[in-house]
Structure 1
Amino acid sequence: MGSEDSFTESTWDLGIHDAHCHPTDDMSKAGTIPTMKAKSLTIMGTRQSDLPLVTSLAKDYPEKVVPSFGYHPWFSYLIYDDTGPGGEREVDKKEHYTTVLTGTPTEDLISALPYPRKLSSILTELRSQLETFPKALVGEIGMDRGFRIPFPDNTGTEAHAVYTPGDAEDGKRLTNHRVSMDHQKKIFVAQLKLAGELNRAVSVHGVQCHGALFDVFRELWRGHEVEVESRKEMKRRRRRAKGEVEGHEYLPDIEDSGDSGDEFSEEVRKRQEERKQEYMPKPYPPRICLHSFSAPAQTLQQYLTPPSAKKRYPSRVFFSFSSTINARPEKGHMEKIMETVKGVPEDRVLVESDLHTAGEEMDAALESAVRVIAGIKEMGIDECVKMLRENWREFVFGDA
């Protein structure tokens, strides 16, 4: 075991998982993935051009890579929503960009932008990729109120739209046009519903729209809230179940559910496993990661507070933190993030690098993020790593 305040090889051996990263943005370092200290990388897809790269890394390094397929809100304006009434008609390029962009784009800008792709086609492709990889996630998806689209590079493809956080900070290459929140929401919700249909977790981006993001989830959850059984009701049900005649299902108490070898206990476990494998499509994802979560504590409480005393929201929500986005001391982030991290339950925390290149730099970012969480939660490093490991497993794989 590693010491409580330092990272050793045995600390890494416990299993540190990157919940959100983008090594496909710099494929020159992709070959370092097998030798990285991180146990696994949850690699995000963001646009048409990098989804094949995510696929290739998942196939090349199946023991190390968990793929995630989706369209980032920064690229949502390149998608035409043909899923609504009248959407099957031919796409009018000028009408599309005039509708989905704020302000009035010039003729020259519209001409230089690529022809938008149909949302129906994109969803078909995403479905195929997700079915190829049964444990793949949907992501990175979400909404961003602050994003401004970049000037095209006249290639006539989506390649011009490659965008990094630095572009927003220094204002380079950006127009004054933003993507309407209504359009972003349509693209976002379509992907959330696909995740719900296929029982996949999602990794979500949200900038300057924390309230709007929560409202989207709440709309999808409405009418699907889960009834919470009180402890008293649970005990009453279990006593009643024990007294039923043979042939009725027995629901064991926790103390009765150990590894006894009798056939009856084995049959109970078999039935429980069968129920786990049964899944009815839902209009919302089963598990959600709010990546590089930077919302205030008030927003955090919206996700953690049940809608009523006897109900809870049906999706399990995790909150991921990085040292590259959340906790950069030079940006004055630490004071803000400390309150938020303190408020996140220990079984809902994840760490990520959110880096665009694999290798030692990504490992270092993960180590830094773990140190931040361990420090704020007042935990030993190894203890923190174990907690984060189990949280990542539940986020990606669910109850299985």
Structure 2
Amino acid sequence: MAAAKWPRSVLEHVIDAHCHPTEARAVSAESMERLEITVCAMSTYHGDQSLVRDLALQNPVKVIPCFGYHPWFSHLISLGTVTSKYEHYRHLFIGDDAEPSAEKVSAFEELISLLPEPMSIDEVLEDLRHNFGLLSSTKTMLGEVGLDKDFRVAFDYRASPRRLTPFTIPLKHQLLVLEAQLDLAVELRRSVSLHSVHCPQVTVDLLNKQKSKHGQQWEIIRIDLHSCSMNPQVCAALQKKHKNIFMSLSTTINGRSSNLNALIAGCPSDRLLIESDYNHIDACTEKCIEILTLVARVKGWPIEDEWLDKLDDGEWGVVRRLEANWRAFING
């Protein structure tokens, strides 16, 4: 059923657990007026934290703001004293290689002129605290944060087409940036939207470490493995061990995988969420309807054609079930 055919009374209960409306373009007042679902708007680097904040302040009913620093931009963050911009980036991309290839030397020399001065991790955490404080009355989240083993740094991320360098960001650096943000999430009791690509064991080890480190405080917050691309068996084991781990799926990313149906089927029914993972607000509803429809089919849940206030649990449809999951997720 196309989004246009869904009644507004049902759409009002749909939550898009992960999208990027401020990434592609300015979000118009007309687009927000047309929007009938609730969206969790992610930030990713220093430049878009304020965009997400302003969107949420202007649309407090429809937008849940999510503040965080994405692994793709973690090279812009310094973990210690910065002696120079040049040395910071050379350490990350060249490391201890005494004789880097000509390709790397050439790429680095071009890239360094395009990169900003690095932010310190203390500045990052202060920025997050500031934004969480300004929107303390809303269900703000930490996001998007995470790990990505294979992402290659672009010369200009905003360019189209995007030209890539030969450099990846060391996982050790990504981990330290992520752990600092997760510590803050635990302290402030914020749920987390977590990116994990091509590093399942590192992610599993990290989550186990956080559980051991924070104990009951870790259990209070909720972690969403967004557009989860892990093996379904790995996910099942992870969710069995960690009762605070949810999974959100999208056709935008997961639709490329043959594991999508298995991920839906294997996820505990009370810890499944849906998302668009899209960067155009006008398309978020349609993308959510796509994954909702698939979830309903795989789980054998009916799709509501009207919203009834009082129903027994056995009569719940896909939207009501996922809305209940969302409430459990965001309330911790």
Aligned to 1:146: 150
Q: Does 2:109 align with 1:121?
A: no
Displacement of 1:284 in angstroms is 7.6
Aligned to 1:161: 157
Please provide the CA RMSD for this pair: 2.2
Aligned to 2:229: 294
Q: Spell out the pairing of 1:170-185 with structure 2 (5 A cutoff).
A: 172-185=162-175
Aligned to 2:89: 97
Contact in 1 for aligned 2:149/2:198 (Cα 8 Å): yes
Which AA in structure 2 matches 1:362?
C
The separation in 1 between residues aligned to 2:146 and 2:260, in whole angstroms, is 21
Displacement of 1:214 in angstroms is 1.4
1:342 aligned to 249, 253, 265, which one?
Answer: 265
The Cα offsets for residues 294-318 of structure 1, whole Å up to 9 and x where unpaired, read as: 1111211231233xxxxxx4x6111
2:276 aligned to 350, 353, 357, which one?
Answer: 353
Contact in 1 for aligned 2:42/2:143 (Cα 8 Å): yes
Contact in 1 for aligned 2:239/2:246 (Cα 8 Å): no
Aligned to 2:75: 77
Q: Secondary structure at the match of 2:6?
A: coil
The separation in 2 between residues aligned to 1:75 and 1:26, in whole angstroms, is 17
Q: Mind listing any 5+ residue stretches in structure 2 that lack a counterpart?
A: 305-316
Q: Does 2:141 align with 1:137?
A: yes
1:322 aligned to 224, 237, 250, which one?
Answer: 250
Identical-pair percentage:
34
- When residues 107 and 26 of structure 1 are mapped into structure 2, their CA distance, relative to the original with a 3 A threshold, is closer
Contact in 2 for aligned 1:51/1:69 (Cα 8 Å): yes
The separation in 1 between residues aligned to 2:117 and 2:70, in whole angstroms, is 18
Displacement of 1:283 in angstroms is 6.3
The separation in 2 between residues aligned to 1:49 and 1:147, in whole angstroms, is 20
The separation in 2 between residues aligned to 1:326 and 1:339, in whole angstroms, is 11
Between the two proteins, the alignment pairs up a number of residues equal to: 304
Q: Secondary structure at the match of 1:325?
A: helix
The separation in 1 between residues aligned to 2:163 and 2:184, in whole angstroms, is 33
Q: Does 2:73 align with 1:52?
A: no
- When the two structures are superposed, what TM-score results if normalisation uses the length of structure 2? 0.85
Which AA in structure 2 matches 1:139?
G
Displacement of 1:102 in angstroms is 5.7
Contact in 2 for aligned 1:140/1:204 (Cα 8 Å): yes
- When residues 162 and 184 of structure 1 are mapped into structure 2, their CA distance, relative to the original with a 3 A threshold, is farther
- The range that moved more, 95-104 or 209-218, is 95-104
Contact in 1 for aligned 2:232/2:259 (Cα 8 Å): no
Q: Secondary structure at the match of 1:113?
A: coil
Displacement of 1:387 in angstroms is 0.6
Displacement of 1:225 in angstroms is 5.0
Displacement of 1:285 in angstroms is 6.8
- When residues 90 and 362 of structure 1 are mapped into structure 2, their CA distance, relative to the original with a 3 A threshold, is closer
- When residues 217 and 363 of structure 1 are mapped into structure 2, their CA distance, relative to the original with a 3 A threshold, is same
Q: Mind listing any 5+ residue stretches in structure 1 that lack a counterpart?
A: 83-88, 152-159, 227-281, 307-312
Displacement of 1:99 in angstroms is 2.0
Question: Which has more radius of gyration?
Answer: 1
- When the two structures are superposed, what TM-score results if normalisation uses the length of structure 1? 0.72
Q: Secondary structure at the match of 2:142?
A: strand
